[in-house]
Amino acid sequence: MSKKNVMLCGTSISKGIIYDSIANKYRKCEATFVGILDKIFNTKILNISKFGNTVARAEKKFYKSFNENKPDMVIFELGGNDCDFNWDEVSNNPMGKHIPKTDLDKFKDSLETMTTLVKKEGKRPILMNLAPLDPDAYFNWISHNDEKRKDNILSWLGSVSKIYWWQERYNSAVQDVARKQNIEMIDVRKEFLKKFDFRDCLCEDGIHPNDKGQILIANALESYFKTAG
């Protein structure tokens, strides 16, 4: 593939962050999908992704970086943090009203605004949808294995499975934006769901792809660009 200037705007997944259960901390994995992209495009990817990025946080750096670098292509990997809740607040007030970090409509509007700018400049925007999460593992993670905290969060959730379908709404939002804007979308989620048990590709926290998951994403992107160019 000919050399292109590519920018990646995403979350900790795009930074290649995984949870190391042995060291009991987050770290960067050795073989990230971004490293594969570097080789595909024969260039160093401008990766402005950040741990904890919501669409609002990503926007601030995106506009500055895009205007300064004018990349040929921008790949967006966002949504996993936007759909999340402040679980400390939920645990402390399980009878209260709680909202996600980013309202769903706001999330879609922001994605549309950024991708529209890329198109307007004659560049190529591409969306990545969300890798699936493991609701049971993530519930244990946000509960810190504390029974009282588990009871409080569950009384608000109603069901642990709600974590999965709530994230699915934001995944669907990414796909809706791709259709509405008539732009490309790489279906990473499908590659995970093809697995007999995709949980094998996730870290202990239930949300970050592990080394196997990063390779799975890399394979999905490599396959996509071999076909799409």
How close are the terminal C-alpha atoms of the chain, in Å? 7
Instruction: Name the strand (E) or helix (H) holding 125.
Output: strand 124-128
Contact 10, 49 (CB under 8 A): yes
Q: How do residues 63-120 score in pLDDT, each as one tens digit?
A: 999 999 999 999 999 999 999 999 999 999 999 999 999 999 999 999 999 999 999 9
Domains and CATH numbers, the chain: 6-90+101-133+169-228 (3.40.50.1110)
215 pLDDT higher than 60: yes
Across the range 9-25, mean pLDDT stands at 95
1 pLDDT higher than 60: no
Mean predicted lDDT score pLDDT of the chain: 95
Specify the pLDDT at position 145. Answer: 86
Confidence of residue 2 (pLDDT cuts 50, 70, 90): low
What whole-number distance in Å separates Cα of residue 138 and Cα of residue 136?
A: 5
Burial of 229 (0-12, 13-18, 19+ CB in 10 A): exposed
Instruction: Name the strand (E) or helix (H) holding 27.
Output: strand 25-28
138 pLDDT higher than 80: yes
| Tokens read off for 227 | 């076909």
Q: What is the pTM of this model?
A: 0.95
Reduced to 3 states (helix: H, G, I; strand: E, B; else coil), residue 73 is strand
Q: How do residues 142-188 score in pLDDT, each as one tens digit?
A: 999 899 999 999 999 999 999 999 999 999 999 999 999 999 999 99
Q: In Å, how far are 71, 77, 90, 115, 200 from 212, measured between CA atoms? A: 29, 18, 32, 30, 8
Q: In Å, how far are 81, 106, 173 from 64, measured between CA atoms? A: 22, 20, 25
